[in-house]
Each structure stands twice: as structure tokens, then as C-alpha cells.
Amino acid sequence: MPDTEPSLPFPTMSPERAEDPVSWLQLIRSRRVGPATFFRLMGEYGSARAALEALPKIAHAAGAKGYRACPRADAERELHAGIAIGAKLLCHGSADYPQALAEITDAPPVLWALGNLDLLRRPCVALVGARNASSLGRRMAKKLAAELGEAGFVVASGLARGIDTEAHRTSLKTGTIAVFAGGIDVIYPQDNIELAGEIAQAGLILSEMPIGVTPQARHFPRRNRIVSGLSRGVVVVEGAAKSGSLITARDAADQGREVMAVPGHPMDHRASGCNMLIRDGATLVRSATDIAELLAQPLPARPVPGATRRSVPAERPPPGRLTYDLLNLLGPAPVHEDNLIRQLRLPANMVTEALSELDLTGHIERHPGGLVSRPI
């Protein structure tokens, strides 16, 4: 059964009143049933139960022999597993389902949610970008997330390393939503286990995938459409010309969302995607004021408080790790050594020693005022 665009309206009756959510889980977890097919079947048969009864016959007519829908026992196990970890199942059309996401053509029929559902009722902006983000890119993500939170926006992202991590961490207190590519109980990357726990307590985690599913490469583009679908606009802070961040930007454009990008140095490949988006018509972003003006929501006049700094670990990183991290943070645009020290959360002497070694080997360039960069 091809997963084509739905030709009939989405169901408007809440599944909590119309039928048990297990039937919805059964239908969407059945083989070859994606969001578009789900809504088409619901439109044709009026309920998930009726659609499930018709599925084998439909599949046989399409040439799929021996087709079986997802067993009810499997759907019940998933529902119980989600409830056991404190998650709630949101079905399309229910009161808690995010309204903005419900408007896109391939909205997830069901979402697992863990955390503060009130965040879904507030305006949302997505901040996405490179996993191997530069120091400047990370600082910009933190700045934008802090300003957006102060302005009343919820910040959405995908919990990836780099830009996503900085956006989530900075907006924890003001409101952040992390969308998982795998099951809501499967944290990826492992580096962000602690951060994910903090988001589950103070923010919100969402996933359309079954409980326990490990994310695969094909799941991330699906995750990206949810990040953009939740949001009034998507800001790409750093991103290569071929990256998941640009997939999210394309999803945003297709969904009628605002597409914004932070310009970067022409010689830094991590900025190539952002510069390309701006060339093609995306709004150039210098601060959250640009975002708020585009979305017609003014920022408050009061200054934004700085993000709370974590304690600096005393132990030395494994051999080669600090060198790798420094080179990863640096790009053609010079940054101050102090910013690198704050970013790495390491003692100053440890970072300056590593920078001296990189300077001796020609891997970095020093500039007046304590600035350093990668050679062009």
C-alpha cells in the first residue's frame, strides 16, 4: 500500500472518545501504513477498528499476500510500556495534540510525550544546526535560545550534538522541546543522557516512534518534519550544504513556516548551507530581534540574563581529545581564547597549553587581541 497524500479530511473526533487508543496504535504500527495511508483509511472507514478489519483485504488486492495488521497485543504492550515510564500518548485530534503540527499534511497520527504538555500551547521556534559546530556557532545558538526564551518562545530542536544541545540546554528554564528520532525512551546521542533527563523534568520530549526503537538513519528526516511542524519558524545556526539542518529548512518551507539562517564565514563549510539559504531567500538572522520581528512578536526591552555556567571538571581529557575538540570548535573566523575555555569547561592552563602545541605544528593561527583561528 503506497503511503500517498490523504485525499480526505483528517479525523476530527478525539480517539479518547471515539475508540480506544490501542486501535490507533495498531493501525499506525501496521506494515506499510504511514501517516498519509492512516488518514486515508480513517477517512474511508470512519474508525481505526474498521480500517484494521479491512487492511488484509486491501493488502491482498494490492498484491501483498498473507498480510497481517499489527497484533492488538503488541499495541497494548507499547501503550503499557509508555505509561510505565510516565509518557502520554497524544492522538491526532485530541486536546493535547499540538495544533501547529496537526496542520501539516503528514502529521504523525500518534505522538508519545514525556514532560510538560503546556509547552505545546506556546509559540515555538526551532533552532537547528551542525553537530560539529564551531565555537561561534555554539555561542550564537546559546544567545538566540536565551533571547527567544526571554521573549516567551519555546525552543524546539532534535537533541543532536552541537547546536541542538546548546539550544536545549540554554532554554531549559524558559521552555524547550526535544524531538527524538527513535523511541521516547531511547536517548541518542548517549552524550546527552543527562540533558534528556533534565528536559523530561523541565521541558518536553516528543516522538512518533514506538517505545524502545533505536533510531536509524531513515528516522531522522521524519523527526525533522516534526521539529519544523511544531514551530512558527526554523533558524539554521550552522549547517553544511548537505546536512540534516537543511532538510529541516526544506520541510519548514514546504509546511509554510518561516525559514531563517545565521550567516557565516564563506570559507567555513559549516556555514555553507546557511549562506546558501540566505542567497535563496531565507531571512538573515543576527539576533532574536530579527526572528521576533519576522514572527510579529516583539522582544522585551529588559536585558537577557546570562546562562548559568557549570562547574569546570578538574580531570584531563584523554590524549588527543582536547586537540580534536579545539580544532572542531575553530574555523576561519577568529575567536578569543577565553571563549574556547568557557566552551570546553576546562582549566585555562590546560586549554592554553593545547593551543600552544597546535600553534607550533601550524594547525592554528594567532591574531592580535588573543584571537585564534584555523588557517585558511
Cell of 259: 525559514
The two counts, helices (H) then strands (E), for the chain are 16, 12
Spatial CA neighbour of 94 closest among 113, 74, 66, 78: 113
pLDDT averaged over every residue in the chain: 87
* Residue in this structure with the C-alpha cell 495511508, named with its chain if needed: 37
**CA 208 – CA 220 distance, rounded (Å):** 11
Q: Which of 190-204, 264-278, 310-324 has the highest mean pLDDT?
A: 190-204
> Strands across the sheet with 365-367, in order?
335-336, 371-373, 365-367
Question: Alpha helix (H) ranges present in the chain?
Answer: 15-18, 21-28, 35-45, 48-61, 72-84, 99-102, 135-150, 163-170, 193-202, 219-229, 244-254, 272-279, 288-294, 321-329, 337-344, 348-360
Average pLDDT over residues 114-131: 96
d(CA 371, CA 89): 50
Question: Is there a contact between 26 and 51 (Cβ–Cβ < 8 Å)?
Answer: no
d(CA 129, CA 210): 26
Pairing of strands 371-373, 365-367: antiparallel
Q: Which of 38-52, 238-252, 265-279, 315-329 has the lowest mean pLDDT?
A: 315-329
CA pair distance 41, 329, nearest whole angstrom? 49
pLDDT tens across 238-293, in order? 988 888 899 999 999 999 999 999 999 888 888 899 999 999 999 999 999 999 99
Is there a cis peptide before residue 98, judged by omega within 30 degrees of 0? no
18: confidence class by pLDDT, cuts 50, 70, 90: very low
pLDDT tens figures, 123-180? 999 999 999 999 999 999 999 999 999 999 999 999 999 999 999 999 999 999 999 9
Predicted confidence band at 310 (pLDDT cuts at 50, 70, 90)? very low
**What is the pLDDT at residue 364?**
85
**Location of C-alpha cell 588557517:** 375
- Residue closest to 371 by CA, chosen among 318, 311, 344, 331: 331
- Provide the 8-state DSSP code for 8: S
pLDDT band, residue 305 (cuts 50/70/90): very low
Burial class, 16, CB count within 10 angstroms (exposed 0-12 / middle 13-18 / buried 19+): middle
Lowest-confidence pick of 76-80, 254-258, 364-368: 364-368
pLDDT reported for residue 256: 92
CA gap 173, 210 in Å, rounded: 28
**What residues form DSSP beta bridges with 366?**
372
Kindly state the DSSP code that residue 47 receives in the 8-state scheme: S
- Residue 356: per-residue pLDDT: 73
